[in-house]
Amino acid sequence: MSSGERTSVNESAIDQIFRSARTQNGFVDQPVEEVQLRELYDLLKWGPTSNNCSPGRFVFLRTREAKERLRPALMPGNVEKTLNAPVTVIVATDEAFFEKLPQLLPHNPKAIELYKGHPDLAQSTAFRNGTLQGAYLIIAARALGLDCGPMSGFDNAKVDAEFFAGTSLRSNFLCNLGVGDPMKLFPRSPRLTFEEACQLL
């Protein structure tokens, strides 16, 4: 096969990442090791972002002590599954991402000027691309054999005050990681059809 040719991912891989993958509400007692988290980040970082801005930041909470710091921000229905998950990721966004553009976009040294001094553009760019990177995290985790429980049932302001006070980081969403417990899955909800969600123009 020449370097310009592409092949599709096999059906079992597509199932693992999308069709058979589920949002997990509980996890079995199996740890997620640091080496797995490093492998996870080393995969998700290759997903595209605007001007390679890469504003996503990821705080991996692995200990009970770290999780207890999160407890006051959680909605009641999310407390138990979060405290019992092997890892909870705070998927955050660095609103001062542009400070790293000279490193990330060396061929365009003036790119920083697009955002520095333009807080509205910087904030919207950070949120959009940080959210993309959060999605890449879910896809990468599933590709590596981990299950995910992403959620937004928490108080962002409390998380930011506890973990990011005095910084340019802001929480986006949380994602529990581990090996899912099939006994705690809800029935799968339907999705919109192509005709309901898409247009061909």
Q: What integer pLDDT is reported at residue 7 of this predicted model?
A: 83
119-143 vs 34-44: helix axis angle to the nearest 10?
A: 120
pLDDT digits (tens, 9 = 90+) for 91-103: 999 999 999 999 9
CA angle 120, 125, 130 (to 5 degrees): 130
Calculate mean pLDDT across residues 154-165: 98
User: Does the pLDDT value for residue 3 go beyond 80?
Assistant: no
Question: How sure is the predictor about 2, in pLDDT bands with cuts at 50, 70 and 90?
Answer: low
| Domains, the chain | 27-178 (3.40.109.10)
Q: What integer pLDDT is reported at residue 8 of this predicted model?
A: 87
Q: What integer pLDDT is reported at residue 5 of this predicted model?
A: 79
Quote the percentage of the chain above a pLDDT of 70: 99
Q: Which two tokens stand for residue 198?
A: 């898409």
User: Using the 8-state DSSP alphabet, how is residue 101 labeled?
Assistant: H
Q: What integer pLDDT is reported at residue 23 of this predicted model?
A: 95
Question: How sure is the predictor about 179, in pLDDT bands with cuts at 50, 70 and 90?
Answer: very high
Q: Which two tokens stand for residue 127?
A: 């949120």
Q: What integer pLDDT is reported at residue 6 of this predicted model?
A: 80
